[in-house]
Structure 1
Amino acid sequence: MILCITHSRDFYNIDIFFEYLASRNIPYFRLNSDRLNHLQKISVNENSFELTDELGNTIHSAAVKAVWHRKAWKISSPEELDQHYEKIFLGEYGSLRYNLMTVLEDVPWINPYENEKKVDGNKMYQLKVAQRNNLTVPKTIFSNDEEKITSFFYEYCQGKAIAKLHGVTAKTMTGENMISTTVIEEDSLEHLSDIAYCPMIFQPYIDKEYELRIVYVDGDFFTGKINNSENPDWRVAHADHFWSAYELPDTIKENLTSMMNEMGLYIGAIDMIKGRDGEYHFLEVNPQGEWGMLQKELGFPIAEKIADNLIKRINFHE
């Protein structure tokens, strides 16, 4: 059985994944991470767990042969819960979820949980590893210091920078409920006085030909190009922007593969910019990034490739 950890509002990508597994007669179980709470019955010991979900479906850890860590959302708390108890509720269910995951650490994962958590939670680590693997990365500062940011702007940004949060409110394809990248120009620097309350990442603005969303699956590449040169973030671009299939140069593929291997990731959604300077600029890798738009619009078999990778590794593991 393949366990898929996702959330209650996930669809399309995961539906294709399950349909493909069903066509191969491989059993699966959907675990909604946001419902891993009072709605489910969960018991964990040092070697195993048993869980009955909100629909009455039961799974035992012994049946799990591989895990796709598709999406992890914040655990939902009941509306009737006393607000003073909510922190304890979320803390203990979060600990229970983590303990449940570690029971399965010896079976194949996409992605291994600890590797994914380190990469997703540290953009500076991503840039360091990318640079170490011969990828071009922008000068970057993550800071709450108005003076340091201003000095960075004048030293590296040639009059135009971008500012973004380390994380976003929601990682969506459409940009809904998401704080996007902001353009900073010289007259914007006077508004940095509140930066102490919200540290941000600052980088020089890259004059771009186009943006690339690259889905890496264990050495295979599925790359979409979006015709967005004027907007700082394709996720909030207008509807007249569209995706087209793109072939990366072999050297970029080799460097990205080397980077992903060092990070210990089997899958990731990588954002790059093809600059007007001719360079491919690495921005970030999101281990749980969206790719449904590439499968839907370009016909890339990404869900099937993820399933095939897990099936192959199950057979090797056994």
Structure 2
Amino acid sequence: MILCITHSNDFYNIDLFFEYLTSKNIPYFRLNSDHLNHLQKISVGEDSFELTDESGTVINSRDIKAVWHRKSWGIEVPGELDEDYEKIFLKEYGSLRYNLFTILEDLPWINPFGKEAKIDGNKMFQLRIATKHHLHTPKTLFSNDEEKIKAFFQEYCHGKAVAKLHGAIKKSMNGENFLSTTIIDQDNLEHLADIVYCPMIFQPYIEKEYELRIVYVDGEFFTGKINNSENADWRVGHESFFWSAYELPEDIQRNLTSMMNEMGLYLGAIDMIKGRDGNYHFLEVNPQGEWGMLQKDLNFPIAQKIADFLITRLQ
């Protein structure tokens, strides 16, 4: 049996994955991480666990032979729970979930649980490894220090920088609508007084020809090019953008492969920019990043490749 750890609102990518496993007569179990709570019956022993999900299906960890940790969402709190108990509810169910995952850590995962946890969201660590493997990376500062940020801007950014969050918030520090990536120039550089409450990543703005979303699956590349040369984030004004298939140069593939090997990742969604300077600039890798648009628009068999990776490793 293949276990897929996801969440209750996940669809499309996961549906394609399950359809392919069904076509190969491979049993699977969908574990909704946000419902690892009072909705499920869970008993974890020293070397195994038994779980009954919200639909009444029972699994034992001894039947699981491989794992895809697609997404872990926040655990859902029951509405009737007194708010005084919410913190302990989340702490103990979080601990139970972690214990459950580690029971499975010696099985084949895509990606290995511990290695993925170290890479996911660890931007500076990623950039250090990418640079080691001969990939162009932008000068980067992760800071909550207004003066250090201004000094970085003056030294490296030539009048224009990109500021990034790991997540997204609805409003910026001055009350405007905000995405996880925004442009900083000399005029709005002065609006950093609240940075102490929200550390951000700063990089020089790269003049680009286009952006690339590269899905790496165990040595194979599925690359989409999006015709965004102006916006810091292609999700802004996305109605006018479209994906097209793209062939990465062999040296970039080779460098990315050696980077992923050092990170210990079999799967990752890599963001790069083809700059007007002719270079391919590495931005980041999300070990479980989004790729459904590439499969849908470009017919890339990504879900099937992920499934094949796990099928070939079933014990």
* Shorter-chain TM-score above 0.5: yes
Alignment of 1:1-318 (within 5 A): 1-168=1-168, 179-314=179-314, 318=315
SS of residue matched to 2:235 = helix
> How far off is 1:169 after superposition?
5.8
Specify the code of the residue in structure 2 equivalent to 1:301.
Answer: P
**Contact 2:121 2:286 (8 Å CA) reproduced:** no
SS of residue matched to 2:136 = coil
Q: Describe the shift of the 1:66–1:178 C-alpha distance in structure 2 as closer, same or farther (beyond 3 A).
A: farther
Which deviations, in whole Å up to 9, do the C-alpha atoms of 1:151-197 show, x marking residues without a partner? 00000000000101133469xxxxxx983311000011110111111
**Contact 1:228 1:237 (8 Å CA) reproduced:** no
Counterpart in the other structure of 1:174: none
Specify the code of the residue in structure 2 equivalent to 1:299.
Answer: N
Cα distance in structure 1, aligned partners of 2:119 and 2:158: 30
SS of residue matched to 1:95 = helix
Cα distance in structure 2, aligned partners of 1:267 and 1:292: 14
Once structures 1 and 2 are overlaid, which stretch shifts more, 152-161 or 188-197?
A: 188-197
Cα distance in structure 2, aligned partners of 1:194 and 1:270: 31
Which deviations, in whole Å up to 9, do the C-alpha atoms of 1:266-305 show, x marking residues without a partner? 1000000000000000000001100000000000000000
> How far off is 1:313 after superposition?
1.7
**How many percent of aligned residue pairs carry the same amino acid?**
75
Cα distance in structure 1, aligned partners of 2:222 and 2:310: 18
Where in structure 1 are there 5+ consecutive unaligned residues?
A: 171-176
> How far off is 1:80 after superposition?
1.2
> How far off is 1:85 after superposition?
1.0
Cα distance in structure 2, aligned partners of 1:181 and 1:286: 15
Cα distance in structure 2, aligned partners of 1:169 and 1:283: 21
Cα distance in structure 2, aligned partners of 1:233 and 1:57: 42
Cα distance in structure 2, aligned partners of 1:259 and 1:95: 32
Where in structure 2 are there 5+ consecutive unaligned residues?
A: 171-176
Count of residues in Structure 1 that have an aligned counterpart in Structure 2: 309
Specify the code of the residue in structure 1 equivalent to 2:161.
Answer: A
TM (normalized to structure 1)?
Answer: 0.95
Specify the code of the residue in structure 2 equivalent to 1:219.
Answer: G
| Shift >6 Å, 4+ stretches | none
Cα distance in structure 2, aligned partners of 1:20 and 1:260: 26
TM (normalized to structure 2)?
Answer: 0.96
